[in-house]
Amino acid sequence: MSRSSTSKTKASPKFKLYVITDRRLAAARGGLVSTCAVVLRAAREAGFAHHVAIQLREKDLPAREMLGLALELRRVCAELDGLLLVNDRLDVALAAGADGVHLPADSFSVPQARALIGAHRLIGVSTHRVEEAVAAAKAGADFAVFGPVFTPLSKGAYAPPAGVKTLRAACRAATIPIYALGGITRSRVAALAGSGAAGVGVIGAIMGAPIPEEAAVEILRELAH
């Protein structure tokens, strides 16, 4: 059964895999929407329904194109048991009926975003230090992404890799789910065991994979161990 963002009950951030979009990487694999669709379908068929969330992060797109993509992805997510969050653009998230928004460090504050999108949508926050993860929780975020844990695959590192030890400290200190981001691959998921992370955020490991759906299922299986 698909979930509706118009429900008064907030979607719970219990997904394990947070797929962050990169339409340039996905172009070689049939395009962004089709890549997300095959990932979600494969996850559901492998027994991981509701374990995947998509973050639409095409920051350079104008509003009309961003909304068009968001509407297509919202339809796909509703059909295939995924959540859709929109990076930064609260207007696009609301217009598309997305499940939530993801706030970069230079975006709205969590209280400002909550006042605009309401209580029933998710708010995720990007964090890079333990104290930022704690602050996100105190501000009312539903979850935080923490990284880079390893050197990123798809873009230059914006900070030195924090490592698993610092990720573990963030998970222990914050009172919300924390997702590890940066350089995440199937083989590196095992290194996160015992860290307390709720799951992982990925860009290149799926968007740039030769067969994105296989890569997603492999990561989900590792996370289930």
> Which CATH number does the domain housing residue 44 bear?
3.20.20.70
8 in a structural domain = no
> So what's the pLDDT on residue 12?
58
> So what's the pLDDT on residue 1?
31
142 in a structural domain = yes
> So what's the pLDDT on residue 159?
74
Question: CA–CA distance from 61 to each of 70, 87, 106 (Å)?
Answer: 11, 12, 18
- Beta-carbon contacts of residue 142 (< 8 Å; ≥ 6 apart): 10, 13, 100, 122, 123, 124, 176, 177
- One-letter amino acid of 191: A
Q: Structure pTM?
A: 0.93
195 in a structural domain = yes
> So what's the pLDDT on residue 7?
42
| Separation of CA 80 from chain center | 16
148 in a structural domain = yes
Cβ pair 126, 98 in contact under 8 A: no
Residue 91, classed as helix, strand or coil, is: helix
218 in a structural domain = no
Joined tokens for residue 29: 């694999």
> So what's the pLDDT on residue 153?
75
3 in a structural domain = no
- Domain hosting residue 25, numbered range: 17-208
Residues (pLDDT < 70) of the chain are: 1-12, 154-158
If one counts the domains in the chain, the total is 1
Is there a cis peptide before residue 148, judged by omega within 30 degrees of 0?
yes
111 in a structural domain = yes
Joined tokens for residue 140: 């009312």
221 in a structural domain = no
- Hey, how many other C-beta atoms are within 10 angstroms of the C-beta on 34? 14
